[in-house]
């Protein structure tokens, strides 16, 4: 049998359609219900559904008054405040195309984006880096706040295939790519409600991320709002150490965060008193079995992992309604068509292949903006290639095997770093571990382990543990103690940055220049 999951397509997106209208459809049913609480240690800022919708529609009207028209691209340079999601939805409600970006970007990085986007306007917050863009209108954060009180305008309804928003993703070439999404993308996310969250209108979902992170926009805000649930977002400056208290105080029923946040919470809490919490959600990078077990022991709830990407909403996940196999990501959500591909198409069950999703999936991007050739390069027949590797079982469970370009070569064997890292997790004295293969001399590559911990450990002890847990060709041949593992701003481990750490140590050890 081949590695293909296909249980039929999801219901078609209705037309005419508007993403923001779908997100705010429940506001008429319960205008006084709390849609959003921005929670801090000294209190909370609460937004009812009625107030939220009025602010969004007023913003849509304000953008119209400012001279923008449907189809205009608006570059968002706003910070971690409630202004961000209101402006984002307001632009989409008016038929414009917002581009959320990280407030951490430099002027130089933003200038490269603007040259590609050619935006009609910039929504700019105080103190957020942004170059001068001649001929491009700027809307200040103060103006956006004033727009909220303006009379609302009707939603710009239209073809669900038209562009709704653009997000940026890191490219393998080192250049960020603009990913264009259609209004139908929010309709596709309905498959996540049962297939990952177990989400209902009664839930209070806390997301640990900032407002201006796309993971937060989707999982933390738009998905809860689309079902009439309450979103809980930590106030700016709230660290991971305060999240357990805030979850308890505000009766969170679902918690969503990247694995690194769970790691930090667990490092400070052997037990967690979260009586209302039903489960946790995690995405962004592979979560270790050790963190899963520690969370279950500390909080008494499960962690459900998901796999997605900037180009397509989460489509493989564990969930409360379906038991995932040990170590597996989960299974494709009902309505998704997923395959694991080799050069000639789907590989047999149990073999490693590139995770791919149907090019007709409603959650898949329209394409990379102004890069048709690059878009087509990611396609293989009817499939979009994610660039990640996995194996599939007969019941559709998928085990993640790492990025295709992260795979290691050890004496001719292809080895997944995820497998090695998982096997070596939980070693006493080791906080985190990452592995990669390093070219130690011409045509000779060895697997090297990089770990953090209070102090360096005897390499012989680490090698002995590796010998107990891994086949010889999978074992690291050296271990390097580092102060911290290299990660990107979203907390993902950057394995490509590990090899230089080994070479730097060799130079220091041997006095080379």
Q: What is the CATH number of the domain that holds 298?
A: 3.40.50.12780
List the beta bridge partners of residue 507.
none
Render 200-213 in DSSP notation, one character per residue: -TT-EEEE-S-TTS
Q: Provide CB contacts within 8 A for 98, sequence distance 6+.
A: 74, 76, 87, 88, 91, 92, 123, 165, 166
Cβ–Cβ under 8 Å, residues 18 and 93: yes
Residues 61 and 184 reside in one and the same domain:
yes
Domain-terminating residue out of 326, 361, 378: 326
What are the helix (H) ranges across 207-288?
A: 214-215, 223-227, 243-249, 259-268
Residues 37 and 163 reside in one and the same domain:
yes
Residues 73 and 220 reside in one and the same domain:
yes
CB burial of residue 443 (10 Å; 0-12, 13-18, 19+): exposed
* Secondary structure class of 263 (helix, strand, coil): helix
Residues 416 and 276 reside in one and the same domain:
no
Residues 178 and 84 reside in one and the same domain:
yes
CB burial of residue 513 (10 Å; 0-12, 13-18, 19+): exposed
For 216-257, how does the pLDDT look when each residue is reduced to its tens digit (9 = 90+)? 999 999 999 999 999 999 999 999 999 999 999 999 999 999
Closest to 89 measured CA to CA, from 32, 49, 129, 31: 49
Cβ–Cβ under 8 Å, residues 212 and 102: yes
Q: How confident is the model at residue 174 (pLDDT cuts 50, 70, 90)?
A: very low
What are the helix (H) ranges across 234-353?
A: 243-249, 259-268, 289-299
Number of structural domains found in the chain: 2
How many Cα atoms are found within 13 Å in the side-chain-facing hemisphere of 19? 29
CB burial of residue 278 (10 Å; 0-12, 13-18, 19+): middle
Q: Is residue 394 part of a domain?
A: no
What does the alpha-carbon distance between residue 463 and residue 289 come to, in Å, rounded to a whole number?
A: 21
How many Cα atoms are found within 13 Å in the side-chain-facing hemisphere of 460? 0
pLDDT beyond 50 at 179: yes
Domain-terminating residue out of 305, 326, 347: 326
Q: Is residue 388 part of a domain?
A: no
Q: Is residue 332 part of a domain?
A: no
- Tokens of residue 160, six digits: 């669900």
Distance of CA 132 to the CA centre of its chain: 30
* Secondary structure class of 96 (helix, strand, coil): coil
pLDDT beyond 80 at 511: no
What does the alpha-carbon distance between residue 77 and residue 469 come to, in Å, rounded to a whole number?
A: 48
pLDDT beyond 60 at 512: no
Q: How far apart are the first and last CA of the chain?
A: 55
Q: How confident is the model at residue 443 (pLDDT cuts 50, 70, 90)?
A: low
Q: Provide CB contacts within 8 A for 463, sequence distance 6+.
A: 475, 476, 479
Domain-terminating residue out of 306, 326, 346: 326
Residues 319 and 444 reside in one and the same domain:
no
pLDDT at 172: 47
Q: Is residue 299 part of a domain?
A: yes
- Tokens of residue 384, six digits: 């979009």
Instruction: Compute the CA torsion angle 112, 113, 116, 121 (nearest 10 deg).
Output: -120
pLDDT at 412: 62
Residues 247 and 112 reside in one and the same domain:
yes
pLDDT at 289: 85
What does the alpha-carbon distance between residue 227 and residue 240 come to, in Å, rounded to a whole number?
A: 27
Q: Is residue 398 part of a domain?
A: no
Q: What is the CATH number of the domain that holds 505?
A: 3.30.300.30
- The DSSP letter of residue 319 is B
The residue whose two tokens read 């390499």 is: 459
Q: How confident is the model at residue 508 (pLDDT cuts 50, 70, 90)?
A: confident
Q: Count the helix, strand and coil residues of the chain and give each as a percent rounded to the nearest 5.
A: 30, 30, 40
How many Cα atoms are found within 13 Å in the side-chain-facing hemisphere of 182? 20
Residues 281 and 430 reside in one and the same domain:
no
- Tokens of residue 142, six digits: 């103060």
Q: Is residue 369 part of a domain?
A: no
The percentage of the chain sitting over the pLDDT mark of 90, rounded to a whole number, equals 79
Q: Is residue 379 part of a domain?
A: no
What does the alpha-carbon distance between residue 59 and residue 139 come to, in Å, rounded to a whole number?
A: 11
**What's the average model confidence in pLDDT over 492-501?**
91
The overall average pLDDT reported for the chain is 93
- The DSSP letter of residue 407 is -
Residues 46 and 190 reside in one and the same domain:
yes
Residues 18 and 142 reside in one and the same domain:
yes
pLDDT at 411: 64
Write out the residue range of the structural domain in which residue 205 sits. 10-326
Q: Is residue 268 part of a domain?
A: yes
| pTM reported for the whole predicted model | 0.86
């Amino acid at each position: 049998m081949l590695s293909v999951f296909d249980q039929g397509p999801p219901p078609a997106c209705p037309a005419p359609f508007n993403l923001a209208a779908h997100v705010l459809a429940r506001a008429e049913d319960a205008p006084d219900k709390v849609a959003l609480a921005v929670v801090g240690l000294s209190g909370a800022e609460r937004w009812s559904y009625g107030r939220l919708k009025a602010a969004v529609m007023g913003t849509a009207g304000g953008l119209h008054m400012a001279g923008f028209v449907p189809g205009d691209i608006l570059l968002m340079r706003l910070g971690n405040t409630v202004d961000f999601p209101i402006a984002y939805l307001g632009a989409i409600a008016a038929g414009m195309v917002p581009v959320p970006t990280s407030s951490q970007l430099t002027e130089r990085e933003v200038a490269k984006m603007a040259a590609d986007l050619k935006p009609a306007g910039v929504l700019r917050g105080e103190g957020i880096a942004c170059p001068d863009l001649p001929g491009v209108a700027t809307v200040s954060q103060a103006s956006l706040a004033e727009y909220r009180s303006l009379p609302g305008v009707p939603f710009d309804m239209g073809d669900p295939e038209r562009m709704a928003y653009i997000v940026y993703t890191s490219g393998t070439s080192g250049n960020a790519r603009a990913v264009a999404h259609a209004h139908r993308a929010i309709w596709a996310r309905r498959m996540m409600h049962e297939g990952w969250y177990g989400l209902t209108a009664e839930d209070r979902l806390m997301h640990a991320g900032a407002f201006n992170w796309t993971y937060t926009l989707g999982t933390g805000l738009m998905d809860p709002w689309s079902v009439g649930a309450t979103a809980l977002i930590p106030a700016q400056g709230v660290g991971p150490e305060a999240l357990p208290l805030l979850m308890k105080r505000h009766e969170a029923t679902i918690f969503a965060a990247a694995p690194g946040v769970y790691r930090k919470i667990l490092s400070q809490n052997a037990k967690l008193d979260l009586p209302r919490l039903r489960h946790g959600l995690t995405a962004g990078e592979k979560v270790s079995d050790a963190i899963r077990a520690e969370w279950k022991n500390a909080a008494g709830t499960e962690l459900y992992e998901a796999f997605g990407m900037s180009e397509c909403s989460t489509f493989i996940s564990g969930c409360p309604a379906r038991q995932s196999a040990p170590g597996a990501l989960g299974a494709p959500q009902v309505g998704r068509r997923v395959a694991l591909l080799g050069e000639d198409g789907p590989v047999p069950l149990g073999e490693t292949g590139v995770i791919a999703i149907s090019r007709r999936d409603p959650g898949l991007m329209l394409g990379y903006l102004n890069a048709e050739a690059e878009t087509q390069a990611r396609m293989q027949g009817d499939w979009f290639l994610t660039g990640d590797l996995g194996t599939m079982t007969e019941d559709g469970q998928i085990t993640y095997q790492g990025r295709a370009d992260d795979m290691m070569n050890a004496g001719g064997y292809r080895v997944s770093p995820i497998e090695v890292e998982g096997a070596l997790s939980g070693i006493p004295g080791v906080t985190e571990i990452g592995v990669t293969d390093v070219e130690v001399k011409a045509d000779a590559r060895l697997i090297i382990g990089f770990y953090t911990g209070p102090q360096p450990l005897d390499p012989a002890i680490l090698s002995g543990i590796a010998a107990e847990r891994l086949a010889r060709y999978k074992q690291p041949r050296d271990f390097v103690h580092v102060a911290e593992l290299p990660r990107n701003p979203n907390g993902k481990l950057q394995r490509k940055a590990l090899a230089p750490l080994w070479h730097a140590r060799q130079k220091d050890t041997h006095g080379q220049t």
